[in-house]
């Protein structure tokens, strides 16, 4: 008996004859981590639904209760480079397809509801942040933890982190801090919060909705339906409680000052001290890339963000820290990455500039965005 596909695609008929498209990332064992195989199923389906007049909205979810999507298939990239060298094509293929999907979700002509239950990290955050209706539940845990694997918050992070109030996006990116549901709402990563057990009920309510003949009103109808649900009790937002100190610790004039402040131990605040330790243990190259992307992203169009991120991500797979970070955390699992360069002082502007050099010849793979 063959296994179920890694993405389940359904077209459920609404009471009034319209179609609600439901897509389920279906790899519970990997916490629904996004693979190229998943993208190759989901992207054409969403393109088809975008032009199908019967389809009123897309509901995107992860199988099971533990995770919506715990990230991208970075382990496969690491293995490919270790086996075949930096010319291995998988990294560019994966990131090109992933960013094309993310861009489509950001610009989708119909409501996209993402049910962000459980773990939402990295590539999962990219899928969620582009959606028109982003739902968290009482057990949601969001993060952009790329500092720990020698990458940077990609999947559009240059766009959405740079547009958060103050220096909040810089803090989230550099420290890889874990966010609960209240944090996600405060930071603008989510729009709605509902009890996790209400997922099937929400789908049933969408199917029962009397969808307007005017498609421009569908987004408001979905908003009204989600807002009508009872909000669960949530743990407080540590992000909001630390707003003032976050601004203070990120207020330095340059990267060196900010890094020094953010890595300073905090004896009387366990939450803040964890963020300091995460950054201190992370890749110095990643810290420099994150700082630069935060500065640059606010002035770039969404399409240009994804084009630049494709260059950066493909180059990261050709530079040592990304492969070393994934090796240490996910492949060999010794948790002792050896970063090159080993300290922020040794990270030069020329070294970071090299990550911005397009590694391909001819037209940019995402020129058509």
Task: Give the residue numbers marked as catalytic.
Answer: 72, 123, 146, 154
Using only C-alpha atoms, what is the Rg of the chain?
A: 20
Assign residue 85 a region (left: φ > 0; alpha: ψ between -120 and 50; beta: otherwise). left
Could you tell me the two tokens for 294?
């935060």
CA distances from residue 328 to 13, 69, 315, 362 in whole angstroms, order as listed:
47, 21, 19, 35
Asked if 250 contacts 165 with a C-beta cutoff of 8 angstroms, the reply is no
Q: Distance from CA of residue 108 to its chain's centroid?
A: 17
Q: Interior CA angle at 102 toward 97 and 105, to 5°?
A: 130
Beta strands 119-121 and 141-143, pairing class: parallel
For 194-198, the CB contacts below 8 A with 24+ separation are 194/135, 194/137, 194/226, 194/229, 194/230, 194/231, 194/232, 195/137, 195/138, 195/229, 195/230, 195/232, 196/65, 196/117, 196/118, 196/137, 196/138, 196/139, 198/229
Asked if 360 contacts 92 with a C-beta cutoff of 8 angstroms, the reply is yes
């Amino acid at each position: 008996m063959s296994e179920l596909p890694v993405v389940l695609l359904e077209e459920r008929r609404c009471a009034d004859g319209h179609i609600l498209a439901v897509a389920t990332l279906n790899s519970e064992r990997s916490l629904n981590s996004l693979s190229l195989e998943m993208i190759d199923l989901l992207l054409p389906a969403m393109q088809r639904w975008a032009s199908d007049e019967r389809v009123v909205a897309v509901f995107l979810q992860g199988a099971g209760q533990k995770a919506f999507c715990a990230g991208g298939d970075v382990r496969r990239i690491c293995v490919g480079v270790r086996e075949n060298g930096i010319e291995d094509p998988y990294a560019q293929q994966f990131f090109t397809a992933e960013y094309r999907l993310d861009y489509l979700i950001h610009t989708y002509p119909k409501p996209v509801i993402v049910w962000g239950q459980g773990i939402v990290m990295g590539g999962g955050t990219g899928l969620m942040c582009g959606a028109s209706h982003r739902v968290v539940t009482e057990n949601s845990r969001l993060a952009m933890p790329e500092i720990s694997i020698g990458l940077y918050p990609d999947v559009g992070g240059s766009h959405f982190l740079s547009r958060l109030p103050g220096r909040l996006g810089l803090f989230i990116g550099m420290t890889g801090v874990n966010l609960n549901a209240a944090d996600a709402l405060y930071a603008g990563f989510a729009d709605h919060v509902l009890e996790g057990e209400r997922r099937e009920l929400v789908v049933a309510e969408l199917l029962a909705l009397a969808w307007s003949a005017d498609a421009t009103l569908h987004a408001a109808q979905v908003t009204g339906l989600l807002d009508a649900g009872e909000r669960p009790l949530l743990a407080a937002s540590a992000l909001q409680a630390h707003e003032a100190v976050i601004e203070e610790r990120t207020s330095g004039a340059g990267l060196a000052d900010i890094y020094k402040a953010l890595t300073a131990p905090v004896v009387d605040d366990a939450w803040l001290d964890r963020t300091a330790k995460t950054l201190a243990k992370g890749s110095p190259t990643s810290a420099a890339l994150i700082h630069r992307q935060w500065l640059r992203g606010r002035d770039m169009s969404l399409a240009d963000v994804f084009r630049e991120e494709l260059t950066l991500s493909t180059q990261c797979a050709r530079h040592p820290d990304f492969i070393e970070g994934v090796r240490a955390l996910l492949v060999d699992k010794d948790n002792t990455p050896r970063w090159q360069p080993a300290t922020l002082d040794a990270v030069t502007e020329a070294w970071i500039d090299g990550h911005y050099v397009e590694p391909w010849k001819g037209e940019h793979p995402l020129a058509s965005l």
